[in-house]
Chains A and B, each alone.
Chain A
Amino acid sequence: MSQSHADTIPVRVVAAEQVTPQIKHFTFAPIAGGELPAFSGGSHIIVVMRGAQRVYRNPYSLMSSPNELDNYQISVLRVDPSRGGSAFMHEQVRVGTELEIAHPVNLFALAKLARKHLLLAGGIGITPFIAQLHDLRLTDVPYELHYATRSPEHGAYCELIAQAEPQRARLYHDSARRFIDIEGLLSGQPLGTHVYVCGPAGMIARVLDTARALGWPESHVHYERFAAPPTGEAFDVYLQKSGIDLHVLPDQSLLEAIEAAGVDAPYLCRGGVCGFCRAEVVSVDGELVHNDHFLSNDEKASGKAIMPCVSRARCSKLILNL
């Protein structure tokens, strides 16, 4: 089943607000009017940005209420150095700008049968949880949110969270030397609890390692990474089925280069976790640089497959069965 990416939704920016020095909050409304597609908390959309030189397609978590579909809201952290996407959103996009977005996809959904939800957010990783909190408030299932930021100034949504969830949320600031006690939290949760983590790579790794060490089964541990495709050296690619030659720039992802060549390649997460863009490697005269979290170590070592959304090659010619 391949999702058609021609099927994007035209939206207009109806609000744009700088919430911290690095974070900008956007509200999109459908140009056609009416309602946007329904979604569940944890979903992301792909925002298509048509820059002067390149087209960027970046995933952003929806943070608005799943119960209000006349608009979608996202927050964009300005990454420094930016590959182009976050800088585009910060510099070029303002109220009135028209953009295209892809339909929401949820790769970070709440477990419906959980007895308790434990939400761990770091920095901009709070965004999917803001939407999930709307869903959680409608249930009887206990939940708690632990939200860590560098400092109160960098905590884009500290106030919002503190007001919305005075009982169930706890805030932490690195600047005050207050950190989430991951081991303490994970060692005392009732059976049937699900833990969700979204934040910096180091925080996600700590939660996953700690959970495993404390006997949490994988089925109860959920994470969402916000990782831009790593940059690297330029290389050439030949798409065998399409008969297309293309060149991948140092700060461009393989998937972006394939799309720029006019091939409608499949994708969902654009973050190396969902496995949807998996491509078969025919040959490579160098080495593959796997940056995904989907392929097993054996698959990576075999050199037969690659996830073009985040992975690349250190070679002069990569041939794909696309």
Chain B
Amino acid sequence: MLITGIRSKPVYAPLQPDLGGRYHVMVGYGVGAAPLSRLLGDFGQADPEALARTRVWYVADAASPQANADAFRAAGVAELRTFTAVDALLSDLTTDLDQALMGTRLYVAGPESFMGLVMRIAHGFNLAQDEVRAEQCGTLARRVHCIHCRETIENVRTNIVRCVCGRWLVVRDHYSRRLAAYMGVMVDAEVPGERPEIKEVFL
């Protein structure tokens, strides 16, 4: 099958405090609030002083009540920023990492497409695997890059998707960190019109 067994597919793990870090930046989107709250609790247990060197940036969505922000504030972090749009958070993150010092750790929690966008920025600053931790939660809907017309399609939940260029694409596990997207490849190139059944697979 075209879409499985590919090693570029990102691997995520539950967030854990990295006490070796000197500064901590946590970013979350929507349901990502839960792992961040848990992480802050773990920090409070393991090294409460680290919270004074911790910043939390969070994008609320309809599914995540404002109560999250209050929980973050209660943890006593050095800074809390809330955003109403992912783009605004990404823009601030880019500005901020440009000024950040070595010793910074980045923690990301949220839907997979959000993490891809954050990780792309992190890679741009040459953050390595031992500086970034990511926990996926919420939807697995994908950003898909059409390898034929190079358009990016957001929020893809199905194995087959139609691109704006008119082609039907099979969504592969082949992931580009640079594009923060999975590759979509024309599915009926050999026999036009012959397509597998469309199923919702990225829920």
Give residues in A with beta carbon < 8 Å to B.
Answer: 111, 113-115, 186-194, 212, 214-220
Dominant secondary structure at the A interface:
loop
Contact A215 B126 (CB under 8 A): no
Q: Are A191 and B104 also in contact (CB < 8 A) when A212-B20, A214-B22, A215-B21 are?
A: yes
Distance of B194 from chain A, by nearest CB (Å): 42
Q: Assuming A214-B22, A215-B22, what are 6 further A-B pairs, CB within 8 angstroms?
A: A111-B126, A115-B125, A191-B97, A191-B104, A219-B130, A219-B131
B98 / chain A contacts, CB cutoff of 8 Å: 190-191
B83-115 to A contact mask, C-beta < 8 Å, 1/0: 000000000000001111111110000000000
**Once bound together, how far apart are the Cα atoms of A214 and B23, in whole Å?**
10
CB–CB B102/A220 < 8 A: yes
Instruction: Verify B126–A114 contact, CB threshold 8 A.
Output: yes
Within 8 Å of chain A (Cβ to Cβ): is B4?
no
- Whether B128 sits at the interface, judged by CB under 8 Å, is yes
| Contact indicator B127/A191 (Cβ below 8 Å) | yes
> Which residues of the partner chain B approach A191 to less than 8 Å between Cβ atoms?
97-98, 100-102, 104, 125-127
Residue of B nearest to A188 (CB): B101
Binding site for A on B (CB under 8 A): 20-23, 97-105, 125-131
Q: Which of A111, A113, A216, A218 meets B102, CB within 8 Å? A: A216
Question: Is the beta-carbon distance between B105 and A215 smaller than 8 angstroms?
Answer: yes
| Nearest 7 interchain pairs by C-beta | A215-B103, A215-B22, A192-B126, A219-B128, A217-B130, A191-B100, A189-B102
* Total number of residue pairs linking A and B with CB closer than 8 Å: 56
Contact of A214 with B102 in the complex, beta carbons under 8 Å: yes
Given contact pairs A192-B125, A192-B126, A217 touches B101 in the complex (Cβ within 8 A)? no
Residues in A whose Cβ lies below 8 Å from that of B126: 111, 113-115, 191-192, 194
A158 vs B130: C-alpha distance when bound (angstroms): 36
Contact A192-B101, Cβ < 8 Å, known A212-B20, A215-B22, A215-B23: no
Interchain CB contact (< 8 A) of B131 among A186, A189, A194, A217: A217
B85 CB to nearest A CB, Å: 24
Cβ-defined contact, A218 with B23, below 8 A: no
Given contacts A111-B126, A191-B127, A217-B131, contact A186 B20 (CB under 8 A): no
CA distance A212 to B101 in the complex (A): 14
Contact A186 B102 (CB under 8 A): yes
Query: Is there contact, CB below 8 Å, between A218 and B101?
Result: no
Tell me, rounded to whole Å, the shortest Cβ–Cβ distance linking A306 to chain B: 29
Which residues of chain B are within 8 angstroms of A214 by Cβ–Cβ distance? 22, 102-103
User: Known: A212-B20, A215-B21. Contact between A189 and B101, CB under 8 A?
Assistant: yes
A74 to B104, CA, bound (A): 38
- Listed by A's residue number, 11 A-B pairs whose Cβ atoms lie within 8 Å are A188-B101, A190-B102, A191-B97, A191-B104, A192-B127, A212-B20, A214-B22, A214-B103, A216-B103, A217-B20, A217-B131
- B99 (CB) vs chain A CBs: closest residue: A190
Chain B hits for A215, CB < 8 A: 20-23, 102-105
Minimum CB–CB distance from A164 to chain B (whole Å) comes to: 26
Establish whether residues A217 and B22, one from each chain, have CB atoms under 8 Å apart when the complex forms: no
For the complex, give the distance between the alpha carbons of A192 and B103 in Å.
Answer: 10
Residues of chain A within 8 A of B131, CB atoms compared? 217, 219
The docked-state distance in angstroms from the alpha carbon of A191 to that of B123 is 11
CB distance from A145 to the nearest CB of B (A): 18
The answer to whether B101 touches A190, judged by C-beta atoms less than 8 angstroms apart, is: yes
